[in-house]
Amino acid sequence: MRKKIVAGNWKMNKTTGEAAALAEAVKAALNGVADVEVVLCPTFTALKTVGDILAGSLIRLGAQNMHWEKEGAFTGEISPGMVKDLGCQYVILGHSERRQFFHETDQNVNRKAKAALAAGLIPIVCVGETLEQREANQTEEVVTTQVTRSLAGLDEGGFRRVVVAYEPVWAIGTGRTATPAQAQAVHALIRQVLAKVCNPGAAQAVRIQYGGSVKPANARELFSQADIDGGLIGGAALEAGSFADIVKAAL
Ligand code: 13P
């Protein structure tokens, strides 16, 4: 049985003080919730502060990106070891905003996924089609390619720990959610692809989150689909009450 996982991707929001207040409020709202894995992913600048607040709670810390190299001349970048050092257990990789605005490729995501696992971090690998691609009936091809290339060459132990986040780009921050049936269809496809990339047993172990305009009102139905193992939450994670309600919808 896969344990559901709900992560809050705070994106480029919240100063350190604001992040601390939000983390405290989320911690209070989710006190005692143990049956869903909960992860908060603040900006790099707030990781230490939020990590200190979450220490001793069941809520995990995640980063939103990292470089694949251990160290060196990569101005502006953060290494896997640095992320780990701040107490992160998770790292989001290949978010569509990074693919779109920072030219992140499947090859880079693959390097990062391997580096994250080697550093003892769990990668949350994001995939998803644009509206143009969906309308051109390319969803299956796009998602298959992203999953296959991003997760190529992982050993089975690492592969089983990975979390995949299916985030249709047209549903991110638009208020336009994929219907539960639309999302489930792509999640089932992703699991088939995972079986080919590794093996069917490993594919059953991998958790696949849905992301894109998840709100308290639509979360329960999405999370009740057979292959939807939780959510990656943007806007609704910036407010403790709505994030906590979404987490509780996964119980
Ligand atoms: P929204 O929940 O704001 O649509 O964002 C989803 C997302 O991109 C999470 O990574």
Tell me the CATH number at 102.
3.20.20.70
Q: Residue 41: helix, strand or coil by DSSP?
A: strand
Q: How far is CA 66 from CA 151, 181, 191, in A?
A: 16, 33, 26
For 160, the domain range is 5-249
pLDDT of 216-243, one tens digit each?
Answer: 999 999 999 999 999 999 999 999 999 9
Ligand 1 centroid to residue 178 C-alpha, Å: 12
Check 37, 97, 129, 167 and give the catalytic one: 167
Ligand 1 centroid to residue 109 C-alpha, Å: 19
Res 216: pLDDT: 98
Q: Ligand 1: which atom is nearest the Cα of residue 214?
A: 2
Res 224: pLDDT: 98
Q: Is the dihedral of CA 74, 80, 81, 84 positive or negative?
A: positive
The reply to whether 95 belongs to the active site is yes
pLDDT of 109-163, one tens digit each?
Answer: 999 999 999 999 999 999 999 999 999 999 999 999 999 999 999 999 999 999 9
Number of domains forming the structure of the chain: 1
Question: Atom 7 in ligand 1: which residue has the minimum CA distance?
Answer: 234
Res 194: pLDDT: 98
Res 227: pLDDT: 98
1 has a pLDDT exceeding 90:
no
Res 133: pLDDT: 97
Check 37, 95, 129, 187 and give the catalytic one: 95
pLDDT of 89-100, one tens digit each?
Answer: 999 999 999 999
Q: In testing the pocket of ligand 1, which one of 10, 11, 40 has its CB within 8 Å of the most ligand atoms?
A: 11
- What does pTM read for this prediction? 0.98
Ligand 1 centroid to residue 23 C-alpha, Å: 18
- Ligand 1 is surrounded, with C-beta below 6 A, by 9, 95, 167, 172-173, 211-214, 232-236
> Could you please report the per-residue DSSP string of 115-165?
HHHHTTPEEEEEE---HHHHHTT-HHHHHHHHHHHHTTT--HHHHHH-EEE
